[in-house]
Structure 1
């Protein structure tokens, strides 16, 4: 499974006047689950998008699985991104959403069907394969998002506030379930949130804002 390293990563906006990420150094080992915890606007999502390749850093290097990927496009980084808003295609069934990635990559039909079935079974939704997103609860839709990432072959999961759009009861249940699934599958995961209750992981990174628009990683380590 891939480890992740950020080396002196910096990202600014508005001509350098807003420093979203300030010389962040980060190391997540194979199979670890890191939560980046901090208030809204402290650079958590920007950091995640830099790892995904959706945002290019101004300075620094990004390594995934020991490979320098700073200039590698997102589709070649072998990652899965689970969004706050689920990001499912509303006109597609659960099955079509989950097989979308392998289909775009022109996987053989038999292989595509096998990995999609396995992914849906892992998240307990194979029996809802023919359902549309509008027929699912928020928790189910989030699990479909996870299955879609798994079916695409992701070994690194990036989770951007994945539970914040859900009600309190479902959030409580899913934060345990999500952690268990990632651990059982042996994946590496980076989860960003502003909610301390979601920070149930092997590692926690605290992002601090020392002034508006100037944010850095204040601590990375295990908490007991």
Structure 2
């Protein structure tokens, strides 16, 4: 009975959305992102099958697609997208990201690892995604065939200080077994939204610091593996 009621409730919501000319399937995607200058799509290329050749044509990849695959649009996903979309194309003369020829080093974060893997084609099971929590919000990306390597990070992190302070406050609450309230989550998400807008609209030359690394020795590492952080408050009410 509960399952039937659940389906009925969803069907009712979908019907209401249709009546109001809303697309419930895109409800996760903030309109402010769509036309932001740093949300421009990138071009990627892959192989055509499990044992196939290169695609004949590249394909576009954007934040909306990544948010759908990751599960939500958030400051971590936007940070990773903006940093990587301005760095990965540098490794290829035509600017098309070859997702068969890349390695990435990132902090152990659901948002950062998901985005870096989806954008680069690198995978932990192929030893081409390595974890390094000392990077914070930075990435190291390397083209396997040439060894060419870049590090990308925020040039100025001051705009995310209020967000980080709120995150620390909530983590402290949880550590002390105090209740995280809907208001806490609302405030955190509002701060994250402001951070996203800043990253999506600031000139990337001012926003990012991109450094070419010489003779970088990639080392596969899983010592910084850990539990998911984006599900710990999933049952907090609205």
Q: Which has the larger radius of gyration?
A: 2
What's the TM-score, normalizing by structure 1?
0.23
Structure (1 or 2) with the greater strand fraction: 1
Q: Which has the higher contact order (CA 8 A, sep 6+)?
A: 1
What's the TM-score, normalizing by structure 2?
0.22
